[in-house]
């Protein structure tokens, strides 16, 4: 039977990305990466990405060599080089074979003063250097309680993706991470998550047209773990997860990959 073009158009490979945050020395990171590679390094049903801290990233990259597990960073500066003490750039990340970079994580926004405008500069620089951004957005508890979740998310999407072309859009990965669900054990209900994911998809359609928007992977992040993942991952517009705590142990991270692979 010939493939159904409509089906092909809307099939998005799921992503399970581990954000290790400020955890793991280089040696610990290599051990974790080796365990992940041993378990899921050969499968290709799910795109698996690990994002170690900068000190571990090169060694982890070497441990991933020859596997299907991809390497991401957790942040970068928008300039290519220069007098920016403590920063790293997109070309530096490319040089150690990183393929992805997390941008605009709520912890960066809250503790390090990142704004929609600064995240946008980084995102454009990442795309220019063929790095795929994992672009994080999400509302705080106060914003949700005030009923402004969708408005907040809309502003973050519109400002963060300003200047991105229709052609570039499908390489952007969006991560919806309600701030109140991060590291708290409080996961969004599937309805809460799907509602926002569908809303984000609608915004992407307006910005980039339907064909490009249908290709964008929108990940959920915030206390995702093997017990709650299957239900979240089964939602129409939830294309994977950005995982914090559960990515720090191979066993739970691998279980998440297995859960994503099981969703049809």
Instruction: State how far the Cα of 241 lies from the Cα of 238, in Å rounded to an integer.
Output: 8
Q: How are beta strands 100-103 and 132-137 bridged, if at all?
A: parallel
Verify binding: residue 245, ligand 13P, rule CB under 6 A.
Answer: yes
CA 126 to chain centre: 14
221 contributes a contact to ligand 13P by CB under 6 A: yes
Q: Which of 105, 139, 197, 255 is catalytic?
A: 105
Find the binding residues for ligand 13P in span 169-198 (CB under 6 A). 177, 182-183
Q: Which of 179, 196, 185 is nearest to 141 (CA)?
A: 179
Say whether residue 237 binds ligand 13P (CB under 6 A): no
Q: What are phi and psi of 70, to 5 degrees?
A: -100, 160
Taking the complex as a whole, the smallest distance from the CB of residue 224 to ligand 13P amounts, in Å, to 6
Q: How many residues bind ligand 13P (CB under 6 A)?
A: 14
Catalytic residue among 114, 177, 197, 255: 177
Taking the least distance from each CB to ligand 13P, the nearer of 66 and 183 is: 183
Position 104 contacts ligand 13P (CB under 6 A): no
In this complex, which beta carbon is closest to ligand 13P, that of residue 246 or of residue 259? 246
Minimum CB distance to ligand 13P smaller for 16 or for 39? 16
Q: How far is CA 225 from CA 24, 72, 241, 264, in A?
A: 19, 20, 9, 19
Q: Is 133 in the site for ligand 13P (CB under 6 A)?
A: no
DSSP-assigned states of every residue in 82-124: SS-TT--BHHHHHHTT--EEEES-HHHHHHS---HHHHHHHHH
Separation of first and last alpha carbons in the chain: 19
Residue nearest to ligand 13P (CB): 244
Of the candidate spans 54-62, 117-125, 159-167, 241-249, the one that interacts with ligand 13P by CB under 6 A turns out to be 241-249
Beta bridge partners of 243: 18
Cα–chain-centroid distance for residue 83? 29
Among 126, 228, 244, 254, binds ligand 13P (CB under 6 A): 244
Q: Any contact of residue 223 with ligand 13P (CB under 6 A)?
A: yes
**177 in catalytic set:** yes
Is 77 catalytic? The answer is no
- Residues in contact with ligand 13P by CB under 6 A are 19, 105, 177, 182-183, 221-224, 242-246
């Amino acid at each position: 039977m010939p493939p159904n073009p409509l089906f092909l158009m809307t099939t998005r490979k799921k992503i399970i990305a581990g954000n290790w945050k400020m955890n793991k020395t280089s040696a610990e990171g290599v051990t974790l990466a080796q365990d992940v590679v041993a378990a899921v390094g050969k499968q290709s049903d799910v795109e698996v990405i690990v994002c170690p801290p900068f000190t571990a990233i090169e060694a982890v990259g070497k441990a991933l060599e020859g596997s299907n597990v991809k390497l991401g960073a957790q942040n970068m500066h928008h300039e290519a080089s220069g007098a920016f003490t403590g920063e790293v750039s997109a070309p530096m990340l490319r040089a150690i074979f990183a393929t992805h970079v997390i941008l605009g994580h709520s912890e960066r926004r809250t503790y390090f003063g990142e704004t929609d405008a600064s995240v946008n500069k980084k995102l454009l620089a990442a795309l220019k250097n063929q790095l795929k951004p994992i672009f994080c957005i999400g509302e705080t508890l106060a914003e949700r309680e005030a009923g402004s979740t969708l408005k907040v998310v809309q502003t973050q999407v519109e400002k963060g993706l300003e200047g991105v072309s229709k052609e570039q859009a499908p390489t952007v990965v969006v991560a919806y991470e309600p701030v109140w669900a991060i590291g708290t054990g409080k996961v969004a209900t599937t309805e809460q998550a799907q509602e926002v994911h569908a809303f984000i998809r609608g915004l992407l359609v307006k910005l980039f047209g339907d064909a490009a928007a249908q290709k964008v992977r929108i990940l959920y992040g915030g206390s995702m773990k093997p017990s709650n993942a299957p239900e979240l991952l089964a939602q129409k517009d939830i294309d994977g997860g950005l995982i914090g705590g559960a990515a720090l142990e191979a066993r739970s991270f691998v279980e998440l990959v297995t859960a994503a692979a099981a969703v049809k």
